[in-house]
Chains A and B, each alone.
Chain A
Amino acid sequence: MKKSIVSILVLVLGFILVGCNNNETEEQKITVYTRDTTSGTRGAFFDIIGLSELGSSNEKLVEGFVEAPNNGEMMASIRNDKNGIGYISLSGLASSNLKGLSFNNVEASETNVLSGDYELKRPFMYIRKAEADLQTLIEKQLVDAFIAFMNSKDGKEIIANNDGIVEGLNSAPTWDNIKDDHAEALATGAAVEIHFGGSTSVEKIGRALSEAFSSLAPRFKPMHSHSGSGAAYSGTRSDGNLHLGFASRELKEEEKVTGNYDRVAWDAVVIVVNKENELTNITTSQIKDIYLGELKNWNDLNS
């Protein structure tokens, strides 16, 4: 009995030591954070820097990468990791308590995004479930009204308030001007659940919009469940459970079904590091090398 206990202990100790050795204890090793493969932010990020294969597969990623399931977790992890580097939506930068790096010497700001100077620009899109796949008329009316609200001046202001970058704010009609077109959706009656999902980058904007809209349409009962841009398409198929899915990247060809998608706002991906990190700018080749594992230490970057 004693012998077997001792041998188990030795074996376990062995495993732990081997495992611990693999845990780099070097001060300067870069911890690479990424979103999971259903994330639109990830897709957009790798696409623009020229590593499209990494968008949907972890094959070539540097060893020891850490996956964050949403923007919030990514931010929390890098907040607690001096050696961390990752990417988040620009709309989340202000409240993230992280440092955003300029990309190829262009700062990530609203003007630079709209002018196109900041290259990591990507759209916030939505996909809606096809009319034919909806169960009831009231669902279609509510989704129509919601989309109209989203495109109205009031809607765009709310998007802007949540750090989305909107175009055509002043030329959009106010809600009061267009609400009569949706009188049926705005009538009182039994509550109708409308399911939203998709990108976590767009979640803040999506929730703000649906919250404001629910005070306009008494029957509107929004339910949000955001897990990544991938769900925007899969969730709005005929067997999916979303009425409207948000994506934080350009839609792929197969996802574009006529009349069922559009852009909500512009946004950008910002590469972020911990506030204690001295870095202020990063180039395309540097960030590529970091994610491919060819650049492993912070020291190597300051060349």
Chain B
Amino acid sequence: MEKIKLRNKRADKIVKNILLVTAVLSAVFIVIIIGIVAIRGLRPFFLSYDGATVNFFKFITGTKYYAPEYRIGYIIVNTIYVVLLAILLSAPISVLTALFVAKMAPKFLSNFLTTTIEVLASIPSIIFGMFGKGYVVILVRNFADKFGIVTAGGQSTIATVIVLAMMIMPTITMLSITAIKSVPEDMEHGSLALGASSTQTMFSISLNAAKPGIFAGIILGVGRALGEATAVTMVAGGRGSGPTFGLFGTTRTLTSTILTGINEANLGSLEYDIRFSIGLVLIVVILVVNLILNGVKKRLGKYYEKS
């Protein structure tokens, strides 16, 4: 008996340690990722490639990105601008759809829409990109032609915004549905009892109470939009200079810059390593945006706790 107990204890310990190792390894990956991107990405600023070192300040600000100058200032502005517009376009539609599904629609319609949204959420981004390049871009081009606006074949800011909006809509919708559904029924019953119409209740009460959850959905959408690479590259146009605010001008984002021209860059060259620097900037941008948005969300939550 004692021997078995001892053997079991040892076996337990070994297994426990193996599992501990795998868990630690899994957790370590995030460190590796950030570490590598940081190390490789900081190289262009400190080492010299055939005599060229990139000045960090010039890199961050500045409005031109074509060799030998690598200035991504305008790209950062473009990225944020494009994502902002995508949110402005998709958030209202998503929230209204969520309200419809959660409160207004009869059961079969509700299920149908939920399935539609789930299918949209599972479509890989490359297919959105293909749809964008083969259809949205052409729509934009035809639309612009009618008004005499010049476009580079349709690849433009507006096309990028539309594609991004399509991609993040399911995310925001699904989380909003959950948020709206979890509003306590007492609040709604109270409102109805006080004489408000059901529509009024839905908009003023349910929607407002679900704000933190909806906002969480928006934050997730923003994260996805900031990080989207292949779809954006196919519709943005790859512009070499200046922030683009006009809807029909070509643009580029941080992710599309990392992706473009990857086949030609020689391993270990400045061309190649600068992408890591851009990746580093991307991570920082995502972090900062998330922090800001989460801060806003907390204040929203506090506001509702008080009342």
* Cα of A62 to Cα of B194 in the assembled complex, Å: 66
A198 to chain B: closest residue by CB = B264
* Cα of A38 to Cα of B66 in the assembled complex, Å: 10
Q: Please tell me which one of the listed residues A18, A24, A37 contacts residue B245 in the complex, with CB atoms under 8 A apart.
A: A18
A66 touching B152, Cβ below 8 Å:
yes
Known interface pairs A36-B66, A80-B154. Does A1 touch B250 (Cβ–Cβ under 8 Å)? no
Please give the distance in Å from B241's CB to the nearest CB on chain A.
7
Q: Please, which residues of chain A bring their CB within 8 A of the CB of B267?
A: 241
* Number of A-B contacts defined by CB within 8 Å: 84
Question: Would you list 21 pairs from A and B whose C-beta atoms are within 8 A, ordered by A residue?
Answer: A9-B88, A12-B84, A15-B245, A16-B245, A20-B247, A21-B246, A22-B246, A22-B249, A23-B247, A23-B248, A31-B150, A37-B67, A67-B239, A67-B240, A69-B261, A80-B141, A80-B153, A81-B151, A227-B263, A235-B266, A240-B266
Please give the distance in Å from A255's CB to the nearest CB on chain B.
15
B81 touching A15, Cβ below 8 Å:
yes
A197 touching B264, Cβ below 8 Å:
yes
B106 within 8 A of partner (CB)? no
A25 within 8 A of partner (CB)? yes
Please give the distance in Å from A36's CB to the nearest CB on chain B.
7
Known interface pairs A12-B88, A66-B250, A69-B238. Does A241 touch B266 (Cβ–Cβ under 8 Å)? yes
* Cα of A231 to Cα of B229 in the assembled complex, Å: 25
Known interface pairs A19-B246, A20-B247, A234-B266. Does A81 touch B88 (Cβ–Cβ under 8 Å)? no
B246 touching A58, Cβ below 8 Å:
no
Sample of 5 more A-B contacts, CB < 8 Å, known A80-B153, A239-B268: A26-B148, A31-B150, A67-B66, A67-B239, A69-B261
Q: Please, which residues of chain B bring their CB within 8 A of the CB of A66?
A: 152, 250
B29 within 8 A of partner (CB)? no
Q: Please, which residues of chain B bring their CB within 8 A of the CB of A77?
A: 152-153
Give B residues with C-beta under 8 Å from A.
64, 66-67, 81, 84-85, 88, 141, 147-154, 238-241, 244-250, 261, 263-264, 266-268, 300, 303
Interface residues of A in 61-84 (CB under 8 A from B): 66-67, 69, 76-77, 80-81, 83
* Cα of A21 to Cα of B149 in the assembled complex, Å: 11
Q: Please, which residues of chain A bring their CB within 8 A of the CB of B244?
A: 19
A104 within 8 A of partner (CB)? no
Interface residues of A in 22-48 (CB under 8 A from B): 22-27, 29, 31, 36-38
* Cα of A235 to Cα of B267 in the assembled complex, Å: 11
Indicate with 1 or 0, residue by residue over A218-255, a CB within 8 angstroms of chain B CB atoms.
00000001011001001100011100000000000000
Q: Please, which residues of chain A bring their CB within 8 A of the CB of B300?
A: 1
* Cα of A185 to Cα of B148 in the assembled complex, Å: 58
A81 touching B246, Cβ below 8 Å:
no
B299 to chain A: closest residue by CB = A1
Q: Please, which residues of chain B bring their CB within 8 A of the CB of A24?
A: 150
A225 touching B247, Cβ below 8 Å:
no
Q: Please, which residues of chain B bring their CB within 8 A of the CB of A1?
A: 300, 303
* Cα of A83 to Cα of B152 in the assembled complex, Å: 11
Q: Please, which residues of chain B bring their CB within 8 A of the CB of A26?
A: 148
Q: Please, which residues of chain A bring their CB within 8 A of the CB of B249?
A: 19, 22-23
* Cα of A178 to Cα of B227 in the assembled complex, Å: 55
Known interface pairs A58-B240, A67-B240, A235-B266. Does A16 touch B152 (Cβ–Cβ under 8 Å)? no
B211 to chain A: closest residue by CB = A1
Q: Please, which residues of chain B bring their CB within 8 A of the CB of A225?
A: 263-264
Q: Please, which residues of chain A bring their CB within 8 A of the CB of B303?
A: 1
B261 touching A67, Cβ below 8 Å:
no
A239 touching B150, Cβ below 8 Å:
no
A76 touching B153, Cβ below 8 Å:
yes
* Cα of A18 to Cα of B245 in the assembled complex, Å: 7
* Cα of A234 to Cα of B261 in the assembled complex, Å: 15
